Amino acid sequence: MTTLLLTLTIQNYTLADRLELDFSAGTSAITGETGAGKSLILDALGMALGDRADSDAIRHGADSAQISAQFDLADLPEASAWLAAGEFGSDDCLLRRSFSKDGRSKGYINGQPCTMGQLKELGELLLEIHGQHEHHSLLKRDTQRQLLDDYAGHQPLLSELRDHYRAWQRAADQLAEREANADQLAERAALLRFQIEELAAVAVTAEQYAALESEHAALANADQIISDSQQALALCDGGEQLAVRDGLSRAIGLLDGIKNPPAAIEQSNELLRGSLIQLEEAVRELNGYIDHFEADPERLAALDRQLGDIHSTARKYRRDPIHLIDRLDELKAELADCDDSDDALDALRSAVADHLAAYRTRAKKITKQRRTAAAKLAAAVNSQLTALAMPEAEVSIELTAAGQPTGHGDESVELMIVTNAGQPPKPLQKIASGGELSRVSLAIQVSAAHQSGVPTLLFDEVDVGIGGTTADVVGQLLRQLGDRGQVISVTHQAQVAARAHHHLVASKRAGVASLRQLVPAERGEELARMIGGAKITDQTLAHANEMLALAAQ
């Protein structure tokens, strides 16, 4: 058997000064006199799981109340996964709640601060409290649907349905967004084509731009370049009195005539010869340039226009002239994306249709399986209700078409019940009687015991208004539930307590409540008190022991 709730510590809460209780697997019955604090455990667990704190519940004379509950998650991977996802750890589970007279309330999971919502969310994975609407998740339609799906055993099919539903929804959202922006996309594409054409007419590389500026500068100063070049040529090799070439030649001749020249003279002579060679090369370059260079007013005008267009466009696009070509490439890439939009739309339409078809196929199968499972589960529950002294009650499970795809199928699920013959079925949450609700919950839990994912169940006075054989049936059912997990039940009925694996007794002395687990030898006396009252006779004690013996069988 699985053990889930291990310990519960209560301090300064209602009638409790300080209580520390250990729990085991199986069914635990809590009994005691009226007002002794039998429901203290259920109320305290509700606080540990995020119920609204009431400062009046703080014990008189104390400033704050603290409640902590420790759980074993060895057989509850869903809760471990929840803790891990929230970075609360995953191996242990210690919930702690404190609240004070000044209205401050704090929650902790494994020592880390948490919200009340997180305590509630985790608590729904850990235990069910029947008879207390705040934690009665069976009243939630999502829980009812999950209960039916667990009973039907089609979780893998549901997982596939959810995957296709999410994929369909994502594709549909993307398609709607693209279709809504289609006009804007077309306008953008038209603008891009205009800008690309405009840039393509002027954009040049950095090397091409440098060449254009150089050519423009030369043509703009053509007259001065020719004049100055010719003067420089004349000075170098013009036959004039001061021609550099003649001077270098005469200097070299003089130095050549020196016999046995010193090293400095020889070095100077070599330098002059090198200079003469370079001068002759320069003269050839100047002659070649002058022979081929011509002023070209038309070419200059064309360069003026081209450079003007480049600079004007650069100002418009707020780019350096040499970076216009980069902007051209960016616009071409964006236009390619726009041009691919039609293909993207077709692909999205295909994805929407494919995922919706896959969803529909699985949704039809789930609907069929739900209808079959609903009939079987309702019949099993109604059979239990008859044994629980509710012969006129009849549970049914109503499937209502959702009208559009949802993440859980094509219909909603709701538990309906008739408590008295001749009345129309009503939703389960419309039941006024807490005792009736607890017995219906018990019948459902027993019928779906093998599929339930919550191993700890708490029942608050599930036996209200019943007795005799019916109480014995309730005890048997609670024990069956305890055989597969953990059940804690507050009861007034000796037949129910006798069937429990464990027995705790609540008592109150001087306004302080306490709970104590009975050893086997003490259980007969407590059952005898429940049967006969304060005065225990040999006959009632014998009856009590007989009940225990029969329960053990």
How is residue 374 written in tokens?
């609903």
Out of 339, 369, 394, pick the residue that ends a domain: 339
In a domain, 371, yes or no: no
Give start and end residues of each alpha helix (H) in 221-262.
222-237, 244-256
Which of 99, 108, 116, 96 lies closest to 58 in space, CA to CA?
99
In a domain, 364, yes or no: no
Instruction: Domain count for the chain, please give it.
Output: 3
List the single range of 113-117, 135-139, 209-213, 343-347 with lowest mean pLDDT.
135-139
Same domain flag for 77 and 207: no
List the single range of 145-149, 191-195, 244-248, 515-519 with lowest mean pLDDT.
244-248
Out of 339, 358, 380, pick the residue that ends a domain: 339
Same domain flag for 21 and 78: yes
- Angle at which helices 341-387 and 182-200 cross, to 10°: 150
CA distance 95 to 289: 94
Same domain flag for 529 and 509: no
In a domain, 120, yes or no: yes
For residue 472, pLDDT beyond 70? yes
CATH of residue 508's domain is 3.40.50.300
In a domain, 544, yes or no: yes
202 vs 247 pLDDT, higher one = 202
Q: In this structure, are residues 168 and 405 in contact, taking their beta carbons and an 8 Å threshold? A: yes
pLDDT digits (tens, 9 = 90+) for 208-257: 999 888 878 777 676 676 666 666 666 666 655 557 777 777 777 777 77
In a domain, 443, yes or no: no
Same domain flag for 209 and 304: yes
**What's the domain range around 20?**
1-131+455-473+485-517
Q: In this structure, are residues 435 and 464 in contact, taking their beta carbons and an 8 Å threshold? A: yes
Same domain flag for 224 and 103: no
- Angle at which helices 182-200 and 324-339 cross, to 10°: 150
Same domain flag for 466 and 530: no
How is residue 168 written in tokens?
């369909």
Same domain flag for 196 and 331: yes
The average pLDDT across 381-401 equals 89
Same domain flag for 49 and 81: yes
Out of 313, 339, 365, pick the residue that ends a domain: 339
Same domain flag for 490 and 549: no
Question: What pLDDT, on a 0 to 100 scale, did the predictor assign at position 230?
Answer: 63
Instruction: Choose the most confident range, by mean pLDDT, from 217-231, 292-306, 340-354, 428-442.
Output: 340-354
